Chain A
């Protein structure tokens, strides 16, 4: 095979990966189960790594391999591990997630977001040099918007956190094509920052679980605009008993 056929094979493989990446973003909008959501997020991260490897081979940018490896270690392995350490198993218990909108409506809106992302990125692709043009840009934009949408319609804490992480995946899916010359150290720093974020949010979710007995964020509605805030006295120690039993609650 000549060099050009290899390159074009890599490019079409990357397009396939991009299509699957977008599919996982759609599936995350539609999934009702927390564990399913986590599995889709892991699949999405694997596809992100695959795209980084393919682009690294296509454009001979070795440090994209590094980006791919960092992604492989942090998202499919460390993120679920941290979540398992900070949260109890029952968070993953298979159950329906009550969403604000029903799933067919959600998917239609998600489709509209994807089309919007395509039109939004067309002028951008015209502005960059030809070697930076590719399907990664509209797909990454769409995944970012879908992640934000997941965050907005979900009422469970863990799927909301996964929505935030999916947004970051979307941003990186654009980044590995457009900003592939960014120093590797920065990608490493962003990845470790993401892990700290997962850790702290995990602790927060656990505190909410202790306090409410569930992780349904939708049930938290004491703070409403215009309503009188409850004349709550300063809390005393008796009210935070569950915390004391948990030395791990840093």
Chain B
């Protein structure tokens, strides 16, 4: 029952928000928006509580099943559900203040909340559903439900970003659909009966290598488009920077990861079958993404794009870690998933606070943010340090664990390249953010309109919910870096076991 309530609540919230849109010219549009925002917060807090309770019990060894086996949750799924619920909650609270401040046209936010809840619902369904083709459907539904969130600003740039996002993601979805249909015939060729993750794993050893390899490559390329792997990442920095900041936190923090989850599900199956060398391809693909993104980070001019490229880098790092063999590497991979989600969502909340303060995304127009808004500046700096992997924050811990696991299994070249990319990204991110926070403004360098940072009179204080989310998110991030609570550690350990046979 708990299991069905978790996606059920956001679905209900989406339906209610959709119903509110049916009467477009209601006089009390502003009030109904507040109701919808409050309802979204309540439903996501409830989902977070249910997801935490479920994750707690999964960490103690339980598994959840519902709807006669169509829906089931193991440790890897529970971890992803917990992270979706977490970002869904913080992002909903952040939206209360941020969206009301940024978009003042009455009635428009009903579209936002309808899509927001539908987006959360479709993401939550991905790790729950057991049937690969149904998983594909929900992956496509995440694209469809977030498309209008990406284009929400309705500027030319936002529409272009949304179009690129939809066109490339759906192209990838078409390729992945063929992969999933081939996977079904692979299952049949191996004599398997039930087309579920477990059913596939069961007969993996008997699968014909040609079929399995082809379907895996099709799925890796198809869904990899949506995760943002190079060379199909071109839409990601656009979409992840043009969307409103709370949506960016969802897109970058958790949507990429929940699609990556589907690829990770296939790794043990590919392992069991006699397809040597697939892991090497996976590692190569991951290194390509991490490396390309690290260099692209250096040349960005927009601080939200900076964090978007860092997502491409981290997805690559997670793929490399999952591709390495051994318990330690897989533990590090799921730890990196946890750390990245917590950190990246915080980064976009901080970027949103900076955007509310200075009203521009251009790095070179923002100087001396610390004077304009100390809260936004400190949050941005903390976020940059955390996402770059400074000790003792969680991403440092997980990246260190990945490198150590790589060394232990003798993958020296992989480790060296990965370390190089991490260091390049570290300096790239901190260079940009350091200038924004502490740099001294140079008058005359650009037109005064883009320089509100130096005009304190124009600055409104940040909305209270944004400050609350920044404080809570920062505290959670620092706490996770200092200590990993034992139930969470156990959950990660069990989830890591799901990455190998």
Contacts and interface: CB of A to CB of B under 8 A. Distances in A.
Q: Does A associate with B in a complex? A: yes
Contacts of A1: none
B299 A231 contact: no
A72 B283 CA distance: 43
A79 B280 CA distance: 42
A153 to B, nearest CB: 13
Interface in B158-183: 159-164, 166-167, 170-171, 174-175, 177-178, 181-182
B359 A234 contact: yes
Given A164-B171, A200-B147, A211 B208 contact: no
Given A178-B182, A235-B153, A237-B105, A229 B361 contact: yes
A212 B203 CA distance: 53
A220 B159 contact: yes
Interface in A169-222: 170-172, 174-175, 178-179, 181-182, 186, 189-190, 193, 196-197, 200-201, 203-204, 207-208, 211-212, 217, 220-222
Of listed B182, B184, B214, residue having the most chain A CB within 10 A = B182
B211 interface: yes
A110 B164 CA distance: 23
Contact of B154 (A168, A178, A243): A243
B163 A204 contact: yes
A132 interface: yes
B116 to A, nearest CB: 14
B205 to A, nearest CB: 15
Contacts of A189: 133-134, 137
Contacts of A231: 360-362, 365, 446, 450
B144 A196 contact: yes
A219 B443 CA distance: 35
Interface string B52-91: 0000000000000000000000000000000000000000
Contact of B137 (A129, A193, A228, A239): A193
A147 B160 contact: no
B18 to A, nearest CB: 8
A127 B156 contact: no
B133 A211 contact: no
Interface in B294-353: 296, 299, 301-302, 305
A76 B237 CA distance: 36
A160 B361 contact: no
A69 interface: no
Contacts of A170: 174, 178
Contacts of B299: 225-226
Given A235-B155, A239-B155, A178 B105 contact: no
Contact of A171 (B153, B154, B177): B177
Interface of A is mostly: helix
Contacts of B171: 148, 151, 164, 167
A186 B364 contact: no
Nearest to A190: B137
A104 interface: no
B211 A223 contact: no
Nearest to A194: B140
A157 B174 CA distance: 17
Given A164-B170, A186-B133, A234-B359, A204 B162 contact: yes
Contact of A144 (B24, B133, B154, B178): B178
B157 interface: yes
B278 interface: no
A126 B210 contact: yes
A186 B156 contact: no
A179 B162 contact: no
Interface residues of A, number: 66
Interface residues of B, number: 71
Contacts of B162: 204
B123 to A, nearest CB: 15
A200 B195 CA distance: 30
B140 A207 contact: no
A167 B151 contact: no
B174 A174 contact: no
Contacts of B163: 157, 204, 208, 217, 220
A244 interface: yes
Of listed B174, B182, B446, residue having the most chain A CB within 10 A = B174
A211 B154 contact: yes
A172 B182 CA distance: 11
A26 interface: no
Given A123-B210, A140-B178, A229 B140 contact: no
B111 interface: yes
A199 to B, nearest CB: 8
A228 B104 CA distance: 27
A88 to B, nearest CB: 17
A229 B362 contact: yes
Given A127-B211, A167-B175, A204 B148 contact: yes
A222 B361 CA distance: 14
Contacts of A3: none
A220 B365 CA distance: 24
B174 A144 contact: yes
A201 B173 CA distance: 14
A124 interface: yes
B131 interface: yes
Contact of A197 (B21, B161, B170, B195): B170
Nearest to B136: A190
Enumerate the 7 nearest inter-chain pairs by beta-carbon distance, A residue then B residue, closest first: A167-B174, A127-B208, A220-B160, A237-B105, A247-B24, A175-B181, A171-B178
Given A124-B210, A124-B214, A229-B241, 15 more contacts: A129-B188, A164-B170, A171-B181, A174-B182, A181-B188, A193-B140, A212-B159, A223-B160, A225-B299, A231-B446, A232-B155, A232-B360, A237-B104, A237-B105, A247-B25
20 contacts: A144-B174, A144-B175, A171-B175, A171-B177, A174-B182, A178-B184, A181-B184, A189-B134, A193-B140, A197-B170, A200-B147, A200-B166, A207-B154, A212-B159, A220-B156, A222-B156, A228-B364, A232-B361, A237-B104, A240-B154
Interface of B: 21, 24-25, 102-105, 111, 114, 131, 133-134, 136-137, 140-141, 143-145, 147-148, 151, 153-157, 159-164, 166-167, 170-171, 174-175, 177-178, 181-182, 184-185, 188-189, 195, 208, 210-211, 214, 234, 237-238, 241-242, 296, 299, 301-302, 305, 355, 359-362, 364-365, 446, 450
Interface of A: 120, 123-124, 126-129, 132, 140-141, 144, 147-148, 151, 157, 160, 164, 167-168, 170-172, 174-175, 178-179, 181-182, 186, 189-190, 193, 196-197, 200-201, 203-204, 207-208, 211-212, 217, 220-223, 225-237, 239-240, 243-244, 247, 250
